[in-house]
Structure 1
Amino acid sequence: MTFITKFRSIFHTAVAGTATAIVIAGGSSAAQAAIFTYNYEGYVTELYAGSAGLLPPDSDLRGVKLGDKVSGSYSYDDEVLSPFEANSAVLTDFIYTIQASDGNTYVETLDNFLGVRANGIVNIDTSDITVGINSPVPIYGAISSSEGNLFYTVRNTTIVSTFEILVGSAPKSVPEYSSTLALVAVTLASVFLRSRSA
């Protein structure tokens, strides 16, 4: 076999194998996991302070008053489910922002929730969120949602806000890199094995 013939054989095998790998990888992308991201907003509707219970409408709780704006976002991978709650996915990102009447903006995230790293989940059926559960270190507060309300609780005080999910971003496909690379590796291996035996 001449060099040109051998080269053509290797080239055609490589092109056919790579095309097959791309078609297979592209065809399986629809079944892959996806990252969902949702934005939310609302306004403070109730303030609770320990044994005092529900505070009067003109009250101030750590600089927050009724009507202050709350907003944020959360993301999750629909294939990464929580081992602690049924039908719940682990949050990959979470932001809670409150623009307080005292002029300050308070932000809580998974990376810095009341000063520590926190975990969070979202119920896939109800969209209810819970942040601050099952964390490796004790956290003296939590954020949760239920029936259109968002509850931000810190040391026996609670700020209740309306909770409206805005239009979320389109799900982003999570590529299955390992299977794609495996297909390419198998294709290239067959090319090199064929060229060595020729």
Structure 2
Amino acid sequence: MKVYLNKWRSGTVNNEQWQAIIQNDKNYDGLFYYAVKSTGIFCRPSCKSRPPKKENVRIYTEAKEALEQGFRPCKRCKPTGLRLPDEEWITQIKAYIDNHYNDSLTLHTLADIGHGSPYHLQRTFKKVLGISPMEYMQQIRINKAKEYLVTTNKPLVEIGAAIGMANIPYFITVFKKVTGLTPFQYRKKEGHPHE
């Protein structure tokens, strides 16, 4: 396998490398590393994480190149034994939630995106931030809902959909649990400018 090292350069993924990545082929470990632009993480070809989109993949022949380009080592496959510090890992997961709070995110989805196990993510997130990933996402969603309630006259259905909580009874229940008020009461109390 080492014969391929000379023909490969850092850059975009070729078909052989792509096949190694999607098949988690450990025979290619050490020949190249792949980094994923959308997550900021780099892995070994054998990594069991969810396959990335091909257009987001960048190839590096050495782990240090990926590090120099700002990519962080995967928590799951630990390329060359490197490990992303917990605080940095949680910062990346937090940033992902901040940018995708309106998506249908679960602990498993977040763990997959962050290249870790759900159990490890839950435990580490709580250790670093004091709350679980789902509690954090709920805070982001409710804060966004408050913003919409005060600055727009959108109906609850639209606000719920915009923050990733399309189930309106659930949205109202969570909102009241967090704020002590229903969304309607909150809008009225905060002096919605359009009413």
Asked whether the two chains share a fold, i.e. TM above 0.5, the reply is no
Instruction: Return the structure number with greater helix share.
Output: 2
TM-score, normalization by structure 1: 0.18
TM-score, normalization by structure 2: 0.18
Structure of larger gyration radius: 1
Structure possessing the higher relative contact order (Cα contacts under 8 Å, 6 or more residues apart)? 1
Instruction: Return the structure number with greater strand share.
Output: 1
